[in-house]
């Protein structure tokens, strides 16, 4: 490989890596998972040995940063998954109770506002994004899905309103005033029931007051460490069986999870996969309710909404962390490759310089003889 045609990043990108206080320069190392990888253009190196040494040191420091961020994200993914699994028994038992109560209400012919399907004239779309970047195309995939759904709603001739959750989504919709937004909500490092309750109260009031006729929830469903799918589920009106359904009415069974455990193998960090299915106790058919079913339903429905929204926030966080771990892993690999190429260029230039000095000494000695 010739030293004059070495495939590396352009020099104007590498110059930003000397500052450790700004992580924005890491974006030059991050490949977009949504676009096919294309070979980088060849760039001729025109710099001194000192500049090459500085660049190599800068890339080494960047590699340390990306590797540390990868390990932090990997540790947080496990905790986020455990939060999803630990909350599932409560959610599924609540669904069983709602199904039993809805069966009684249907036989008694009692009108329940949250389960009543109305002709849709206005729709509310809850969009859940992340709070930070450096996670590949995670946020872009959610926002593109939101734009696609908004375009479909406009084609149907329906009014709509957006509830934005997450700093990235908030900044995106703030720059687009033509999209009506009801509320902007920020999340912390870990979603809590308080965060889910704020969203549930907002959609609850919008639906009950008949300001909107349907509420949809757009979030990123965690599939695996390398795959996350933006999905849209119908939040309101509720399914008669208390299940989670998508916009086409197909109900989703999410009782099985693929968990990931961090281990070390031959001195390197590896990830082991295991499939976990959370058992749900069967609901007793002889169980009777002392209170009026309508009163029980009024008490359980807010809990149901809160649990489903909290689950969506937790899955979105797990997807964001997995995307960040994958992006930082790719950035680390790119940094290693770039450091290797720069080292080769440095060694060749140093060797050429030494060879030139030797030739000058030999030529001078021959001139004296």
pLDDT tens for each residue of 85-106? 777 777 777 777 776 666 666 5
Lowest mean pLDDT among 52-61, 95-104, 160-169, 229-238: 95-104
Q: Is 135 a catalytic residue?
A: yes
Residue 157, SS3 per DSSP: coil
pLDDT (0 to 100) of residue 33: 47
pLDDT (0 to 100) of residue 23: 43
Give the largest Cα separation in the chain, rounded: 118
The model's confidence at residue 18, banded by pLDDT at 50, 70 and 90, is very low
pLDDT (0 to 100) of residue 315: 86
Mean pLDDT to the nearest integer, 304-319: 86
For residue 241, which of 90, 85, 92, 89 has the smallest C-alpha distance?
92
Q: How buried is residue 263: exposed, middle or buried, by Cβ count under 10 Å (0-12/13-18/19+)?
A: exposed
**pLDDT higher than threshold 60 for residue 227:** yes
Q: Which two tokens stand for residue 316?
A: 């979105």
Catalytic residue, chosen from 47, 135, 245, 251, is: 135
For residue 110, which of 294, 255, 324 has the smallest C-alpha distance?
294
Average pLDDT, the chain: 75
pLDDT (0 to 100) of residue 254: 44
Name residue, tokens 């990043």.
9
The model's confidence at residue 279, banded by pLDDT at 50, 70 and 90, is low
- CA dist 26 and 30 (Å) reads 7
Is the pTM here over 0.75, yes or no?
no
For residue 115, which of 297, 303, 296, 312 has the smallest C-alpha distance?
297
Residue 225, SS3 per DSSP: coil
Buried b (16+ CB within 10 A) or exposed e, 9-30: beeeebeebeeeeeeebbebbb
The model's confidence at residue 5, banded by pLDDT at 50, 70 and 90, is very low
- CA dist 363 and 357 (Å) reads 10
Percent of the chain with pLDDT over 70: 70
Mean pLDDT to the nearest integer, 341-349: 87
Task: Kindly give the pairing relationship between strand 245-246 and strand 227-236.
Answer: antiparallel
Domains of the chain (ranges plus CATH)?
A: 76-279+291-325 (3.40.1380.10)
Residue 117: in which H helix or E strand, if any? none
**What is the per-residue pLDDT across 235-263, written as a single tens digit (0 to 9) for each?**
888 765 555 555 555 554 444 444 555 55
Neighbour count for residue 118 (Cβ, 10 Å)? 12
Neighbour count for residue 194 (Cβ, 10 Å)? 10
Mean pLDDT to the nearest integer, 300-310: 83
């Amino acid at each position: 490989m010739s030293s004059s045609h070495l495939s590396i990043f352009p020099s104007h990108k590498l110059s930003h890596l000397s500052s450790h206080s700004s992580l924005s320069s890491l974006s030059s190392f991050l490949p977009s998972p949504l676009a096919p990888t294309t070979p980088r253009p060849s760039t001729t190196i025109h710099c001194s040995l000192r500049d090459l040494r500085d660049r190599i040191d800068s890339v080494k420091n960047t590699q340390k940063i990306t590797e540390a961020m990868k390990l932090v994200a990997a540790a947080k993914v496990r905790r986020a998954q455990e939060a999803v699994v630990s909350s599932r028994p409560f959610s599924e038992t609540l669904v069983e109770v709602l199904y039993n109560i809805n069966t009684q209400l249907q036989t008694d012919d009692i009108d329940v506002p949250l389960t009543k399907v109305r002709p849709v004239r206005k729709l509310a779309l809850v969009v859940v994004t992340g709070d930070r970047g450096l996670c590949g195309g995670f946020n872009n995939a959610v926002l593109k899905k939101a734009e696609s759904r908004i375009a479909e709603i406009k084609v149907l001739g329906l009014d709509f309103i957006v509830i934005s959750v997450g700093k990235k989504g908030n900044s995106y919709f703030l720059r687009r005033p033509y999209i009506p937004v009801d509320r902007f909500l920020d999340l912390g490092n870990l979603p809590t029931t308080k965060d889910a309750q704020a969203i549930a109260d907002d959609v609850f009031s919008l639906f009950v007051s008949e300001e909107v006729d349907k509420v949809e929830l757009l979030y990123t469903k965690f599939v695996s460490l390398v795959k996350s799918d933006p999905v849209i589920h119908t939040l309101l009106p509720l399914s008669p069986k208390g299940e989670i359904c998508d916009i086409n009415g197909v109900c989703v069974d999410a009782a099985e999870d693929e968990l990931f455990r961090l281990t070390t193998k031959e001195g390197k960090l590896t990830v082991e996969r295991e499939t976990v299915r959370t058992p749900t106790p069967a609901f007793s058919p002889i169980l009777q309710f002392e209170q009026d079913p309508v009163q029980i339903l009024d008490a359980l429905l807010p809990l149901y909404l809160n649990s489903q929204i909290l689950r969506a926030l937790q899955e979105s966080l797990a997807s964001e962390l997995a995307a960040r771990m994958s992006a930082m892993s790719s950035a680390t690999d790119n940094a290693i490759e770039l450091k290797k190429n720069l080292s080769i260029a440095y060694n060749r230039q140093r060797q050429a310089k030494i060879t030139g000095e030797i030739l000058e000494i030999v030529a001078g000695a021959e001139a004296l003889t």
